[in-house]
Amino acid sequence: MSAESGTEIMVHRQVSVPLTPQRAFTLFTARMTEFWPSEHSIGSSALAEVVVEPREGGRWFERGADGSECDWGRVAEWTPPGRVVLLWQIGADWKFDPDLETEVEVTFTEEPGGRTLLELRHRHLERYGDQAGAMYAVFDSPGGWDGTLAAFVALAA
């Protein structure tokens, strides 16, 4: 699942869907709320909506059930229907960190039969390097990483 070059550490995932690139792009960016794993939110209230503003420089944020907004990052590149790049600025402590920029690049490639291959690359995870300590501390907090990791470990076992 990985394709690192040099010291860049990234996650690479892909999925094929029965939609045209345009429809897949729209579904991914405009209806993120509907596929976002809802336990993953950084706000104080339950996740109500995930918003990607459809333009370069747009915000990427969550809106809580109480109407409060928490920034996740922003739109670095907006080139429908082929590509969108989002900056993910959530630190290892699961809080917005304006100094941290990791990159989520999503490409939509047409496949035979009216399908689209979506490829997601979450790049520059090496930028978490100096946050290792914060990450460990978060294992201690409810709603931190450990529940998800534990579930993941159970699946991987």
51 forms bridges with which residues in the sheet? 61
Kindly write out the interface string for residues 4-23 of this chain, putting x where it contacts other proteins by CB under 8 A and - elsewhere: x--x-xxx-xxxxxxx---x
Tokens coding 49: 């909506």
Least distance in Å: CB of 48 to other proteins? 17
- 81/12 Cα distance (integer angstroms): 20
Among 29, 60, 100, 107, binds other proteins (CB under 8 A): 100
- 135/138 Cα distance (integer angstroms): 5
Least distance in Å: CB of 105 to other proteins? 12
**Cis upstream peptide for 80 (omega within 30°):** no
Amino acid at 109: T
Least distance in Å: CB of 127 to other proteins? 5
Among 25, 47, 92, 108, binds other proteins (CB under 8 A): 92
The widest CA-to-CA distance across the chain, in whole angstroms, is: 48
Among 54, 82, 133, 143, binds other proteins (CB under 8 A): 133
Judge contact between 87 and 101, C-beta under 8 A.
Answer: yes
Binding site for other proteins (CB under 8 A): 1-2, 4, 7, 9-11, 13-19, 23-24, 27-28, 31, 34-37, 40, 92, 99-101, 118, 120, 122, 124-133, 135-137, 139-140, 145-146, 148-150, 152-153, 155-157
